[in-house]
Structure 1
Amino acid sequence: MTPLVRIDGLTVAYGHRAPALSSVSLDVPAGQVTAVIGESGSGKSTLAHAVVRLLPPAGRVLAGRIELSGEDLGGRGDKAFRALRGRHIGFVPQDPIASLNPTKTVGAQLREAFALAGSPLTAALVDERLRADLRDVGFADPDTVLAAYPHQLSGGMRQRVLVTMAFSQRPELVIADEPTSALDVLVGQEVLRAIHTARARHDTTVVLITHDLALARRNADQVVVLDRGEVVESGPIAEVFADPRHAYTRSLLASSPRIAAGRVRSVAETYRRRESPAGDAGEPVIELTGVSKRFGTARRATLAVDDVTLSVPRGTTFALVGESGSGKTTTSRLVLGLERPDRGGVRVLGLDVPTLRRRGLRALRRQAQIVYQSPFESLNPRLSLRGIVGEPLEAYRIGTRAERAARVADLLDLVRLPRSFVDRKPAELSGGQRQRVAIARALALAPKLLVLDEPVSALDATIQAAVLGLLVELQRELGLTYFLVTHDLAVVAEVADRVAVMRAGRILEQGPVEEVILRPGQDYTRALLAV
């Protein structure tokens, strides 16, 4: 079969650094989905951006050839290449918020794509096509979507708008760059269904860039494995995952909570493979009793948390699971005293949180810290690790300058980072290293409770496994209690003792992880397990 895309000896570098891609050669079969997988920094996104000629200013193609339908794209100037975008090559970016103009309606932006591509369709025919395409990707009321601004749509809806835009000109090729990494698993499924529906309807070839190996296994026909800018393995995905030949591929598969021995592993199997939890290790660190929280005015209020009751024993990991908008984050903010409940009781470390004022909340936050989902956004890019990790010590006036410096060095040791990193800034670190820095900062004040808000969802499989392993080790060493907020039951199966499943502000079921995962009582929980 003649490939739609042929890449031969592609080498790309940024500035004077070592090449991000080194002599990459691969074929993309027409009419199929080809997944490109690898860790952060492996060159996945660089490959995608090189094909669509959207490399950042420092990026340069040093050598190689990119062909589309037999044409050498390197022979086109920038103006001639722009004519290919949209009409022949579609692109679904990772972050829909950053990719959509907040000052224009969705309809205006979708129509603009037709104008930029020089479409011969009349305005009436453009609107007719857009309505049909929006229905194809799951929108029941296209006119409402066309009239909406991006901020009025959920993350999954915004991403489906970008899918519509990418397929609107009926291109031969669509590249989807981590299209679900910022979404919850069920919402991500909706986006992938939208991509598959559009692909099948328009006979489009899709290149799927992803770090989620289970997602690649379920959605792709072919796979290309990148490691440090080189292709180490490629072929039919069923064959590569069943019998990986390269050590790097085997390590990727072994690191995924949902992949083992070349097949998709169920979350229940994941749980059976981990050590049995120790059980209730002590008195409750967190107690929520009949807690409710509304946002908005009396006429248009949203009940974010609805009559939630839960208890977290000391020294254990409690996971709160649910999709976007389920109330997980609001519940964690109630635990930390960042929100006050409208009704019910919140006790943390023996303190009645809703009654605390400034001094009491300051004392609580010395004992209860948070690790956020995105370490790059939660770390000050202007500070070195010395300043970032030492900042809580300065805020609470703990120790002398020399004592604080020694504590920072000890914390880097604790999270398995070299002390030589102390003068580096976040931009000089990988995603996994940045998350280790965030954990070190959270541990600076020796807290008893850590709230973990999606701590590994933005990380690749091997890095995710390493960070989860670190958290388990730290819990054992320091006797920590974890309140884990996540949408991924595979992660829950790896590290948690108890779990509560939340939807639309209410807890549908909760209990020991082995009971909820092996014998789920709710259809919603079973749907999460099936992802």
Structure 2
Amino acid sequence: MNQDESAPILEVSNLSVAFGDHEVVHDVDFRIGPSETLAVVGESGSGKSVTSMAVMGLLPANATRIRGSIRLEGREVVGAPPQALRRMRGKVASMIFQEPMMSLNPVLRVSTQIKEMLRQHRDLSDREATEEGIRLFDRVRIPDARRRFEDYPHMFSGGMRQRIMIAIALSCSPRLLIADEPTTALDVTIQAQILDLLNEVQRETGTSILFITHDMGVVANMADRVMVMRQGRTVETGSVHDVFKNPREDYTRMLIDSVPRLGEGAMRPRPATDVDLPRPVLSVRNLVTRFDVRGGALRRKVGRVHAVEGLSFDLQSAETLALVGESGCGKSTTGRSILHLNPADSGEVILEGKTIEPGNRKDLSDLRRNVQMIFQDPFSSLDPRQDIGSALAEPLLCHGLASAAQARDKARYLLDRVGLQASMISRLPHEFSGGQRQRICIARALMLDPKVIIADEAVSSLDVSVKSQVVDLLLDLQDELKLSYLFISHDIAIVERVSHRVAVMYLGEIVEVGPTKDVLARPKHPYTQKLMSAVPDPEPAADRHRRIGGPTIDLPSPLRPLDYVPPARTMREVGVDHFVSE
């Protein structure tokens, strides 16, 4: 191998980054060779994302002081002119950001956004860029890619938006790919497919990868080497095997021990129904939610997306029912339809025996007071111009349940309960990390003392140690307040720990439901078995380039013709309270 081929793609020396007088990254050193993957791990606020932004030259020059050296293929990034950085981004180095809704322009079609990258760095006509964009969408497993190519970002689920970002980042075959939590919003099967895709790209093109994550299972399956960061400093660096098997630092050992492992969770028995409350706290009966698809010059209806199709379940007091399934299967739409944020086409939502009438304002007010939701994307669910104290106090003030001072006091108390400092109450959302913003959303959901919380990927953006703390908090609150949770998640190990029952969704329908220990340990439906086989093992892989998820089975499109009538489904009992769709 000649010198050029063996030279590092990225070399960072004595890197320090300060915002004003506050230094957040301190003398960090690392290098990445050709075809190598370096995983950077650490808790929220440890400086991982700031380091990656510095490598891409994306930190604001007028508000940031950078010392040290960052060399990409031998070219210095620190102090480079904007024109040189623009030529480098996308072609030499590309980045997948943590929160796709912040990175995608909401007023531009996704086709425009991927073609912009393609035509900036490659000599393609508009037609050629369109075909290449569709090919990339197919490659990251976006169902019905050609039809959806002209859609807007808000028309995709969170996991789908992340796949679009990955397609854009890979469009120009960069020498270095910086992946900042690229699989955080993805379910286990799509995560396995994306990790396999990144491995495949690396094998074919020799792309080097800087992989930022808090998921030690992903690290074990993806990385050659690991760098552990804490409070802006490098704590430990080494091969994956050495760091996992013989961690030198207590902090590294704590991160590894915090990883939930499938099969080690304490199975939670379903709570006995209170004699005085024989009815479920929440019932859903035959819920159907469909979205019109329009096309042609007159924008006529050409089909319908069957997002939720005939869903029924009961949720008891102090019970946790987990909804699991691939991105786009209808989990989040189910949660939003229960609260009538997405109007359902038909079906009933029954709260403590009372059927909610969507047209009755009092019914909706009672429903939304007693059923709160923690949304999947914490940034888009917080007003960027409203300080955190006002955002938390708003629900209490809207329902007339407290004075402004009382609401502010409760906000401080709940910030402390979710692991933040009460003194942060006057900050704006952009002043928090992604994990901190999710904790704020959890605190806001608790402000009204609800009976039911719909947690839509409530812990997906948290690092492993904070995730464990927040899960403990949710469990403690459930025991203390008899809260019921509809827990929407793609993290099967967390589902095993928190849930009493699991319902598996596929194309808008529940295909298997039952006690957690039965569904996860003895899955009966083929789709459930596929989900379980894709769960990453948090132990270092002997062969890092092996396939993680097994054979790919693409999720069919939920788009149906206007005259489509779904077949009648029956559920067969295969165990005590364990049912499988036929």
Output the TM-score relative to the length of structure 2: 0.78
Residue 271 of structure 2 corresponds to which residue in structure 1? 279
Distance apart, 1:477 and its partner CA = 1.2
1:39 aligns with 2:40: no
Task: Choose from 216, 221, 226 the match for 2:219.
Answer: 216
Residue identity (%): 37
Q: How is 1:411-430 mapped onto 2 (pairs within 5 angstroms)?
A: 411-412=414-415, 414-415=417-418, 417-430=420-433
Q: Aligned partners of 1:407, 1:66: CA distance in 2, in Å?
A: 46
Residue 120 of structure 2 corresponds to which residue in structure 1? 116
Q: Aligned partners of 2:70, 2:224: CA distance in 1, in Å?
A: 21
Classify the secondary structure of the residue corresponding to 2:39: strand
Residue 508 of structure 2 corresponds to which residue in structure 1? 505
Task: Choose from 465, 469, 482 the match for 1:466.
Answer: 469
Q: Aligned partners of 2:327, 2:442: CA distance in 1, in Å?
A: 24
Q: Aligned partners of 2:90, 2:430: CA distance in 1, in Å?
A: 32
Residue 260 of structure 1 corresponds to which residue in structure 2? none
Distance of aligned partners of 1:188 and 1:350 in 2 relative to their CA distance in 1, 3 Å threshold = same
Classify the secondary structure of the residue corresponding to 1:194: helix
Task: Choose from 309, 324, 339 the match for 1:321.
Answer: 324
Distance of aligned partners of 1:75 and 1:472 in 2 relative to their CA distance in 1, 3 Å threshold = closer
Q: How is 1:56-455 mapped onto 2 (pairs within 5 angstroms)?
A: 56-58=60-62, 60-74=64-78, 76-100=80-104, 112-113=116-117, 115-117=119-121, 123=125, 130=132, 134=136, 137=139, 144=146, 148=150, 151=153, 159=162, 162-257=165-260, 265=261, 267=262, 269-271=263-265, 274=266, 276-277=268-269, 279-282=271-274, 283=278, 284-296=280-292, 300-339=303-342, 341-354=344-357, 357-400=360-403, 403-404=406-407, 407-408=410-411, 410-412=413-415, 414-415=417-418, 417-455=420-458
Q: Greater CA deviation, 179-188 or 456-465?
A: 179-188
Distance apart, 1:525 and its partner CA = 1.7
Distance of aligned partners of 1:299 and 1:76 in 2 relative to their CA distance in 1, 3 Å threshold = closer
Q: Aligned partners of 2:140, 2:47: CA distance in 1, in Å?
A: 32
Q: Is the 8 A contact 2:455 2:487 kept in 1?
A: yes
Q: Structure 1: where are the runs of 5+ without partners?
A: 258-264
Q: Is the 8 A contact 1:173 1:205 kept in 2?
A: yes
Residue 52 of structure 2 corresponds to which residue in structure 1? 48
Distance of aligned partners of 1:412 and 1:91 in 2 relative to their CA distance in 1, 3 Å threshold = closer
Give the superposed CA RMSD. 3.5
Q: Is the 8 A contact 1:105 1:146 kept in 2?
A: no
Distance apart, 1:116 and its partner CA = 3.5
Distance apart, 1:57 and its partner CA = 3.7
Q: Aligned partners of 2:34, 2:125: CA distance in 1, in Å?
A: 31
Residue 484 of structure 1 corresponds to which residue in structure 2? 487
Distance apart, 1:213 and its partner CA = 1.9
1:13 aligns with 2:5: no
User: When you count helix as a share of all residues, which structure comes out higher?
Assistant: 1
Distance apart, 1:358 and its partner CA = 1.0
Distance apart, 1:433 and its partner CA = 4.5
Distance apart, 1:139 and its partner CA = 6.7
Q: Aligned partners of 1:159, 1:209: CA distance in 2, in Å?
A: 15
Q: Aligned partners of 1:333, 1:135: CA distance in 2, in Å?
A: 27
- Give the residue type in structure 2 aligned to 1:47: T
1:495 aligns with 2:489: no
Distance apart, 1:426 and its partner CA = 3.9
Q: Aligned partners of 2:406, 2:270: CA distance in 1, in Å?
A: 36
Q: Structure 2: where are the runs of 5+ without partners?
A: 1-5, 294-300, 536-582
Aligned residues: 517
Q: Aligned partners of 1:141, 1:314: CA distance in 2, in Å?
A: 38
Q: Greater CA deviation, 187-196 or 225-234?
A: 187-196
- Give the residue type in structure 2 aligned to 1:198: V
